């Protein structure tokens, strides 16, 4: 019987380390699907998982929540949301969120399914003891009911994984932002979420999109997708002044925080115009408090501030289709800085942590020599 | 020729003091109206004016931005928004905001008229050198184009002034809150804005309205208007726990900050449920910064935070009509703790500052002995 | 073994007739619940079912989609949405809609679950051959996963059934209407949906609620709940003129159609002001076309028209809680015109069809003599 | 003294005819501006004016409501909304709507300024007896307070006039439509409003834009701007089937009616999916009633229908800036089928009426031989 290799984050003596483990080929329940992994990604959340900064993670886990693979086996017939059945050989992705209950107060009354307490996330809240439930593995077990999407024509596996979790997350943020035609949009941070937020802001008809980031490499990526302004002013004060200069001293109509730095929130509020909208999507882990002035920054500004947590099916569905349509314009695949085999996931984590890459990708079935470094 | 007495806030040697001054009877331009003042109010903004905490105030000023009076003279014919002409003897109020330009970017493109830089406010941004443009005066000069509203049947001058600026301000906040039927609403602060926010939340069909305030007298006023919960828990921690207990540990659907204390913002965010709405309307002056955790308090909560600044005509129009309809249920007039003559405005300011009154009212044409202390 | 009586709508020779049938006591699957029916209702949909006017109905059926009963048996442990478990003896209702799939495009992408093609409705789209899946039966079988709500304190079974399907349907309509404080709201039709729409409009803080209906008895019910205007003008022309007179010739801010008469749509558009909102919730069966003028009635009016189909869990959850809170003010139980035993369901259908009753109720476990005629 | 030529629509013996008249050079009030007209347009409204189909038009009038010209004289200093002053030689346009009152119920309470009864429109509701208040004239008198916009870099006078009134009108429609990323959008009609609606739908990030029109020339223009589907199916039935085929049988997320044909409304409702949005912007004159089925087309569809009337400043401001930014992509100037001198305005009206042109433009200062026929 074949064995399957996966990279596992384990906790021992209070420390978290990466191990390569072997797993047996799983037996499929009715409705389950087995994927051969093409690519998984390394995102900021994976760095936080490595550092033990997320609550409620059932270590050992197989990381990798956004993935793309080829269907190897299906037990029975499985359909997509449009009623088409899947076949072996299909190149697919799937919604990492599973087991949203549709029976709790958050699901049924608040209709805020991303706050459902029952939801589980592949690569984050499933234990490796429960199976191949993360993408840093040669194969992934898709439980019955996992929502699978076949990649439509126009989007390659490389495009998809380059978008990674950043694409649907950014789409959710842009939906919450309510961008209107001709709006001036600032995106703070030019990492995967920020770049995708800039792309979706451009697609929403923003009059101008400005990206603010201190890292030269990331700003180059922002320029490559065609933002109107890629701003690397040295200090917060200069950055705010630059946005004000570009907006006739008013500030941006909409600012999207995608940096993960709590200080960006203070700065972003000051970059946004009176009665504008400030969307916070980058603060996915607790990096401490910041000082806000409720009078100047919120009440007198008559501002809207909107937090964005998680994604639901609609976000990945729409982002896949938008990527398929606009793949030639935005060339997501070019955002991949480097592709790593399973044996090098620690290097990949380090690269993401140091912000030296735009996007780091895992290819679990690649041989152990690195490929595709840009 | 008659002289008119007014209380004036003057600046001398960097200190602000109250003086009673005499003014000549003004000559009316075409379209102008002269009011004999029945009542003006003392609100938190007046305390800030006395302490010099607002930027851009052209001292000397006659305070008193929300007022009710009797029309004494009209130069020409003046109409209300429904096309009815005013007559001498009509009991009226008027929108304190004047000169909104309808020609700037904020008015025309953002449609955020409360952020129009041209707008002036009676009792705040008009100088006493320009005329009787505040309500702490026996008469008030209404410039041509000032938007006047005749009190409809069902609302007495005492009801109206008890609502004061708190009523339209709270109405604006409740509009921004987007309360839906059966929502659990928390109001932080039981002063004039908080009490009116609680009233308008009740009128909006909230399932429960809870008011949180440390002052016994103000909580009694909250109970008198029929809130579901009047909470005086001693410490912030207890107050948050109490709201969680009342909401099956979820937190409120909507929380409205009307306390003016920056620390209330930290507390209010924690009182609000995931994907809920937090409205900040009480922070009308700069009382310093507070520490916010962008991850826990905003991003992960998937919350909406909305600042509310100023009012426009619709808010005073609607609040007057709602007060007329619901005057017997909510008895605004009972919120007046004390009515002061012009000579005692300093006492009135002290009473508001110390929070010892629910509502302090000025009766500029009353004799110098106090009336109507409750 | 006990047998259970139910009224069944059967099709024979192309005609639909009512039969009283006996069913064996069902065996409960894990997670299923058996209710002893206290009350079911007769609504307009039941009349349409009797007349064969709905597509896709799997006759024979047991009608009765909104019901209240006492839990007799539970197989296992069943929880409500807040995590409380049910017990035998609990007085409960349940969402008639079941099997919403949460896997189709409408559920996942459009988030329009009331348009999910998989959803089934107790009393409408389940066949009597599948079991006791309608309320005109002494017992009702609640399949695993059916969403059950225990009646909270303050709402009697009589109150609940008097609200019937009209209450959650009207709540959905009022949500779609977006009523704001002080709005002038017209409700066309004073049947169960119209009366509940008027109640929820009053609870939403409407400045005035006007109900228009030709039937004296129904208008009396509207007056009893405290609407501002109960209008029985003879002709459409007069009714439109009356609404215009009451609104300074502008028309209503919001009009809710709850009459079921297509001609009401023509009239309702003309009753609504420019830039107002017109909600259509009463057209639950095809009663033919009407002539609309797209220029005058829609484009030039800059109007919003919103259709409302079906309910989801949030509507019944919220309406039950609102009824519990406001039961003394609106006294739903007084809307019951007559309660019928199973043997008299044909009389009940006739009474609803002829509009001679406000609300007709079925008490399947009552003896065969009528009770509670008002 | 110079005389100024203008084309005037006059009424004599109940018939409307075009005359070329001479007017004296006007004397400028303080704040007034005199434009030398570069281009005016001929739109559907002008055809209706010629046919006497609009109520309340004060014939004789100088038509031409959307115009572009060069500033010849300014009496005093005149500023744009950003505070920049205009100079002679500036190439500008202006908002045709003037005298919005900002004092009526519609302006102040409903905030629906396009329904303000005081508003006047250049080229439509100003009489030629009042001055040069329409664009089919060599010069145009801009009254004090008329809102003027300098064409920004990137938009030529030809681009601007090709967009004409269609651009801001379509922008308003697209705003009302609430297009979200990846939506499937149908535009009915490929005239100036329809083409611009398709452009703004593309700019809003629609997943697909389909234009439906029977005229080959207009469909070619739709293809030229890059719509996804240009549909010329012969019959209504085929057109509906085609939209359903393209949307997995669901219908469009959003349909925008821009055809002016009342029958399009019936068809458009059937092209739109359950819970979708239908925007009606093309029905600018009364072309009669159509039969709608309130059950099937509205209530059961759970649809939103939104009328769109008029424009305000924000629409022309934003459309000018969007045209400047995207002029190379959409090449508005190429939509001009023919440019006519004043003497040939009757030919221009005939061409628009017969739908043989995409866009007909008047060049009042051109010599009497035609130019620029495509």
pTM for this model (two decimals):
0.96
Please judge whether B304 and A304 are an interchain contact, meaning their C-beta atoms are less than 8 angstroms apart.
Answer: yes
pLDDT of res. C216: 85
pLDDT of residue B277: 98
Band of residue C268 on the pLDDT scale cut at 50, 70, 90: very high
- What ipTM was estimated for this complex? 0.95
**C287 contacts D291? CB cut-off 8 A:** no
Contact C200 B205 (CB under 8 A): yes
Of residues C54 and C105, more confidently modeled: C105
pLDDT digits (tens, 9 = 90+) for A309-336: 999 999 999 999 999 999 999 999 999 9
Tell me what the mean pLDDT of segment B328-339 comes to: 95
Question: Is B108 close to D145, i.e. CB distance below 8 A?
Answer: no
| Residue C244, pLDDT score | 97
pLDDT in tens, D120-153: 999 999 999 999 999 999 999 999 999 999 999 9
A86: closest CA of chain B, how far (Å): 34
Write out chain C residues lying below 8 Å of A105, CB-based.
81-82
Chain C touching partners, 3 or more CB pairs below 8 A: A, B, D
pLDDT at D297 over 80: yes
Flag if D295 and C285 touch (Cβ within 8 Å). yes
Q: Do D322 and A205 touch (CB under 8 A)?
A: yes
Which among B82, B205, B322 has the least Cβ separation from residue C204?
B205
Nearest to B248 among C82, C321, C325 (CB): C82
Question: Closest to D82 (Cβ–Cβ): which among B82, B105, B318?
Answer: B105
Residue of D nearest to A324 (CA): D207
Over residues A126-140, mean pLDDT: 97
Question: Could you tell me which residue, C227 or C214, shows the higher pLDDT?
Answer: C227
The distance of A11 to chain D (nearest Cα, Å) reads: 42
pLDDT (tens digit, 9 = 90+) per residue, C348-370?
999 999 888 899 999 999 875 54
Q: Which residue of D has its CA nearest to A177?
A: D180
Q: What is the pLDDT of residue B369?
A: 55
Kindly state the tokens that stand for D194: 């329809």
Task: Please give the residue of chain A at the shortest CA–CA distance from D177.
Answer: A180
**CA–CA distance, B283 with B265 (Å, rounded to integer):** 9
In chain B, whose CA is at the least distance from the CA of D78? B103
Q: Which residues of B touch C204 (CB under 8 A)?
A: 181, 204-205
Per the CB < 8 Å rule, is B205 touching C207?
A: no
Average pLDDT, chain B: 95
Mean pLDDT of D340-359: 93
Q: Which chains touch D (3 or more CB pairs under 8 A)?
A: A, B, C
Q: Rounded mean pLDDT of A61-87?
A: 97
Q: Which residues of A touch D182 (CB under 8 A)?
A: 318, 321-322
What per-residue confidence (pLDDT) applies to A142?
Answer: 98
Is residue C60 reached through a cis peptide bond, with omega within 30 degrees of 0 on the bond before it? yes
What value does the mean pLDDT take over residues B14-22?
A: 95
Distances (CA, A) of D344 to B303, D19, D29, D363: 61, 11, 32, 10
Nearest CA in chain C to B170: C181
Measured CB to CB, residues of chain B less than 8 Å from chain D are 81-82, 100, 102-105, 108-109, 111, 145, 147, 312-314, 317-318
> What CA–CA distance (Å, rounded) separates B187 from B278?
10
Contacts 24+ apart (CB under 8 A), B17-22: B18/B50, B18/B345, B18/B346, B18/B349, B19/B60, B20/B342, B20/B343, B21/B128
Confidence (pLDDT) at A1: 57
Mean pLDDT of chain C: 95
Q: Which helix (H) or strand (E) holds B6?
A: strand B3-12
Helix (H) and strand (E) counts in chain B: 11, 18
Report the range of poorest mean pLDDT among B115-119, C278-282, C366-370: C366-370
* CB nearest D108 (choices: B104, B105, B314): B314
Mean per-residue pLDDT for B329-352? 96
Res. A297: pLDDT tops 60:
yes
pLDDT of residue C89 exceeding 70, the answer is yes
How many A/B residue pairs have CB atoms within 8 Å?
A: 148
**What does the pLDDT average to over D167-182?**
98
The alpha carbon of residue D313 is apart from the nearest alpha carbon of chain B, in Å, by 6
**pLDDT for residue D373:** 52
Q: What is the pLDDT of residue B373?
A: 52
pLDDT tens figures, A156-211: 999 999 999 999 999 999 999 999 999 999 999 999 999 999 999 999 999 999 99
Nearest CA in chain D to B116: D81
Q: Would you say residue C371 has pLDDT above 70?
A: no
pLDDT at position B154 = 94
Q: Identify the pLDDT of residue C373.
A: 52
- pLDDT at residue B237 tops 60: yes
Q: At CB < 8 A and 24+ separation, what contacts does C224-230 make?
A: C224/C331, C224/C334, C225/C195, C225/C198, C225/C199, C225/C330, C225/C331, C226/C202, C226/C329, C226/C330, C227/C187, C227/C198, C227/C202, C230/C190
Q: Name chain C contacts of B81, Cβ cutoff 8 Å.
A: none
Contact flag A203-D205 (C-beta cutoff 8 Å): yes
Are B42 and B30 contacting, i.e. CB atoms less than 8 angstroms apart? no
Which positions in chain A have a beta carbon within 8 angstroms of at least one beta carbon in chain C? 81-82, 100, 102-105, 108-109, 111, 145, 147, 312-314, 317-318
Per-residue pLDDT of D298-349, as tens digits, reads 999 999 999 999 999 999 999 999 999 999 999 999 999 999 999 999 999 9
Q: Which of B153, B95, B129, B197 is nearest to B328 (CA)?
A: B153
pLDDT score at D234? 81
A115-131 pLDDT per residue, tens: 899 999 999 999 999 99
Please list, in sequence order, all residues whose beta carbon lies within 8 angstroms of the beta carbon of residue D104, skipping any fewer than 6 positions away: B81, D116, D117, D118
Statement: residue B165 has pLDDT above 70: yes
Q: Which residues of D touch A171 (CB under 8 A)?
A: 181
Could you say which DSSP state residue B86 is in? P
**Contacts of A among chains (3+ CB pairs under 8 A):** B, C, D
pLDDT band of C58, cuts 50, 70, 90: very high
Give D53: exposed, middle or buried? Use CB within 10 Å, 0-12, 13-18, 19+: middle
Distance CA A63, CA B72 (A): 78
Model pLDDT for residues C217-247, shown as the tens digit of each residue: 889 999 999 999 999 988 888 999 999 999 9
pLDDT in tens, B42-89: 999 999 999 998 888 999 999 999 999 999 999 999 999 999 999 999
Share of residues in chain D with pLDDT > 90 (%): 89
The per-residue pLDDT for D31 is 97
Question: Residues of B with CB below 8 A from C84's CB?
Answer: none
* Chain D interface with C: residues with Cβ < 8 Å: 105-106, 110, 112, 114-115, 248, 250, 253, 257, 262, 265, 273-275, 280-296, 298-310
Element of type H or E holding B329 = helix B327-330
Contact yes or no for A182 and D318 at CB 8 A: yes
d(CA D143, CA D127): 14
């Amino acid at each position: 019987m074949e064995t399957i290799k996966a990279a596992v984050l384990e906790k021992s003596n209070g420390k978290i380390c990466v191990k390569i483990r072997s797993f047996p080929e799983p037996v499929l329940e009715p409705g389950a699907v087995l994927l051969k992994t093409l690519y998984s990604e390394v995102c900021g959340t994976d760095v936080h998982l490595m550092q033990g900064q997320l609550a409620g993670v059932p270590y050992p886990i197989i990381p990798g929540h956004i993935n793309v693979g080829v269907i190897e086996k299906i037990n029975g017939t499985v359909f997509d949301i449009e009623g088409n059945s899947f076949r072996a050989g299909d190149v697919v992705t799937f919604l990492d969120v599973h087991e949203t209950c549709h029976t709790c107060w958050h699901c049924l009354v608040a209709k805020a399914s991303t706050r459902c307490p029952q939801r589980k996330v592949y690569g984050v809240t499933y234990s490796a003891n429960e199976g191949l439930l993360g993408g840093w593995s040669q194969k992934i077990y898709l439980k019955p009911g996992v929502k699978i999407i076949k990649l439509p024509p126009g989007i390659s596996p490389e495009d998809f994984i380059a978008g990674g979790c950043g694409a649907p997350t950014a789409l959710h943020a842009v939906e919450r932002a309510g961008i209107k035609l001709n709006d001036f949009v600032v995106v703070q941070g030019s990492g995967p979420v920020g770049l995708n937020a800039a792309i979706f802001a451009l697609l929403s008809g923003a009059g101008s999109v400005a990206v603010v980031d201190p890292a030269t490499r990331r700003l180059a990526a922002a320029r490559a997708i065609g933002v109107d302004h890629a701003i690397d002013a040295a200090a917060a004060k200069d950055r705010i002044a630059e946005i004000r200069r570009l907006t006739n001293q008013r500030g941006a109509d909409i600012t999207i925080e995608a940096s993960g730095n709590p200080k960006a929130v203070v700065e972003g509020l000051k970059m946004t115009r009176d009665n504008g909208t400030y969307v916070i999507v980058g603060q996915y882990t607790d990096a401490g408090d910041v000082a806000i002035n409720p009078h100047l920054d919120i009440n007198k500004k008559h501002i809207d501030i909107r937090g964005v947590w998680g994604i639901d099916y609609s976000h990945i569905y729409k982002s896949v289709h938008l990527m398929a349509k606009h793949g030639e314009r935005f060339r997501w695949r070019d955002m991949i800085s480097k592709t790593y085999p399973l044996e090098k996931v620690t290097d990949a984590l380090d690269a993401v942590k140091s912000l030296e890459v735009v996007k780091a990708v895992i290819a679990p079935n690649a041989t152990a020599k690195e490929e595709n470094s840009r």
